[in-house]
Amino acid sequence: MHNPPSTALEAVWETMMETTHAADAALDRLGLTLATAYALWAIDPGEDPPTMGVMAQRLRCAASSLTFISDRLVKLDYVTRTEDPTNRRYRVLALTDSGRSARREVIEALTAASPVSRLSESDQRALVRLLSKALAG
């Protein structure tokens, strides 16, 4: 057993580590790695399909890494990669029906696996406010 975190950064790190470890089985069942799960999560079905450039920004990764990740999602039939209908120079990633379902499962699995889910709704809202404040700089 680890000692309790002594800094906020350690607490965030340990929360992420516990979340991802506890969600491993669900991700494995879907054929996903953590990187591919995050990519699936980053495609909002309520928005137009994002370009590869937008996805690279969302995931904070290089284009070559995103190509590898998106190839895996295409092979799993979770996304399609096609020309952007508004600009043929770009490629977009769109969720398939099975991708929408897998995305829901990923979000549910990570949410259930997170130690944050053990906090009250009020504490979760407070945590969101504090982390949002930190992210806003």
The CATH number given to whatever domain includes residue 90 is 1.10.10.10
Residue 3 lies in a domain: no
- This prediction has a pTM of 0.89
Q: Is 20 helix (H, G, I), strand (E, B) or coil?
A: helix
Q: What is the mean pLDDT of the chain?
A: 94
Residue 6 has φ and ψ, to the nearest 5°, of -105, -10
Q: What is the pLDDT of residues 11-60, one digit of tens each?
A: 999 999 999 999 999 999 999 999 999 999 999 999 999 999 999 999 99
Residue 79 lies in a domain: yes
Domain containing 53: what range? 8-131
Q: Is 18 helix (H, G, I), strand (E, B) or coil?
A: helix
Residue 44 lies in a domain: yes
Residue 45 lies in a domain: yes
Question: Using CA atoms, how far apart are residues 43 and 36, in angstroms rounded to an integer?
Answer: 11
Domain count, the chain: 1
Residue 90 has φ and ψ, to the nearest 5°, of -110, 155
pLDDT at residue 137 in the model: 78
On whether the CB atoms of residues 96 and 78 are closer than 8 A, the answer is yes
Confidence of residue 88 (pLDDT cuts 50, 70, 90): confident
Residue 100 lies in a domain: yes
Residue 59 lies in a domain: yes
On whether the CB atoms of residues 43 and 55 are closer than 8 A, the answer is yes
